[in-house]
Amino acid sequence: MSSNLRQRAVVSSFICTPPSSPNGLTFALFKRSQDVNSYQGKWAVCSGSIDPTDPSPEAAAKREIQEETTLSGSDVTLLRKGKPFSLTDEGLNTRWTIHPFAWQLKEGAKEIKFDWEHTEYKFIKPEDVQKYDHVPQLEVGMGRVLVSPETEAALAELRNDHESGAQALAVKALNLLQDSVRGNELSRLETSEEFWKELRWRAWHLAKNGRPSMGAAIEAELFNALDIVSRQLKSSESEGIRGIPLSNLKSITEAAISERISATQHSLENLAGHCVYLMETNSTTPDTNIATLSSSGTITRSLAMFVERVTKQGRKVKITVLESRPGFEGVAFVNTLLASFKEDKDIHSGLKIDIVSDASIATVLKDAHYLIFGGDKVLPNGDVSNKIGTLAAAMLAEELNSGCKVLALFTTNKITGRGFDSDHLGVEYNDPRELTSGWPEIYRQQLKKNQENGYQIEVKNAYFEWVPARYINQYISEVGRLEGEDIERLGRDSDELEERIFGDL
């Protein structure tokens, strides 16, 4: 192979109809014009180079779609991303690195209008792609973004779960992978090599395409389960994967997944213990005032353990919880917290809970000793992703009350590597109907009328945002308090684990 190959990084976007549509999933195939630099007259999906100014491959894909089809974020949404791959075209003296994506057309999306790079387009079914004279290895990219019905159903379970915290979603992902091991599709495979390859693809899609904004814990638990399997395969006296009977491999896999499910439960108890120890040893007053806006299992268990401990000592605890609109997770959190207590007069007399509006956060923090929140993702630099409103709370704690300690609680599986997609560093928005459904009908109708009259009004339902490390006083995990260098090291470990498991796919 020539060492002087031109290196090109490109995106390849499959613009799809919804998998649930009457005709099933189809995708747009474009015929390249004679005016493009390569593969003239060939059929391809929407593709283009990743420019130096593009912050990420996903951003490049969005830009190319808009340039080549006029479709924008109002017309398409990311369905899933595929694992990048490379191919060499000696005729063009080029080594291509291809980042495949699948985008789903939204209801009411405008019609595609292609530019000079194409002469026509068609929506085709995946099984019909061989009928077209297409660009090299289009099937490879297609295979990396299109998934089986079982995998599609599993992804939908994760994608549509807006109640569970990141840790609960990680356990759900492990159970979904366990289900696939026992499911019909994998049972049709005849060799251990086929099973191991397909199992890893299932895990990759669950990790990367289930809930990207909360995906760190999902990735870590799935990848750790596969790592257990991989290490057992390497330590076996047989000749690698080929020497392992398929039934044995399935048993090893099920045991590894069960081990990780159990480990997540133990890690939560350990984290809660470290949190309680820190708050007890740092307490300078007999009573403790805590503010929180998280509804995660991590926060629930940590505060439950703290309340049980200090009320038995005759001390009082006040917990102020933001109601967290539009889903009112704060109210649900309070009910879950109280359900964890047995009938205990010490808790009844020693615990006071206030549920307040989100806009009350400044008043709440003036006399709080702690602002406590969870972390759905943690970057190697210490920035933490959590529920919308967390950033304002952390900033106000620093500004209004220097004695209020800001604690970020998370298990180490929330720490992501440097390969984390920068497109998910912004604010995540979800269905605006969650907001508008709580409005009086007359307000919704008036707003709709104003929009129809030409006013530019958009309802936005923000879910998650990032809290920079400078606003966080302490990080607490299942292994104890973490420093910045600990988080950075664990981020590197995350990158190495992913490469070890998926490097050959």
Domains and CATH numbers, the chain: 6-145 (3.90.79.10), 149-265+497-502 (1.20.120.420), 269-424+464-485 (3.40.50.10470)
Question: DSSP E strands: which ranges in 307-438?
Answer: 317-322, 351-356, 370-374, 377-378, 384-387, 405-409, 428-430
Give the residue among 332, 401, 415, 396 at the shortest CA–CA distance from 369: 401
Q: What pLDDT shows up at residue 322?
A: 94
Sign of CA dihedral 267, 269, 272, 274: negative
Report the alpha-carbon distance of residue 285 to residue 317 in Å, rounded: 11
Q: What pLDDT shows up at residue 308?
A: 93
Q: What is the dihedral of CA 50, 53, 56, 60, to 10 degrees?
A: -50
Q: What pLDDT shows up at residue 1?
A: 47
Distances (CA, A) of 206 to 157, 173, 417: 10, 7, 17
How many residues are there in the chain?
505
Q: What pLDDT shows up at residue 275?
A: 96
φ/ψ of residue 409, rounded to 5: -110, 125
Residue 399 identity: E
Residue 228, beta-bridge partner list: none
Mean pLDDT by 10 residues, the chain (505 residues): 75 90 88 89 91 90 93 90 88 86 91 89 92 90 92 92 84 95 92 94 94 85 94 73 87 94 88 94 88 88 94 93 88 92 83 94 95 92 92 96 95 83 66 90 95 91 91 96 95 91 89
Residue with tokens 């180079």: 49
pTM of this prediction? 0.81
Give the residue among 401, 462, 388, 474 at the shortest CA–CA distance from 431: 462
Q: What pLDDT shows up at residue 421?
A: 57
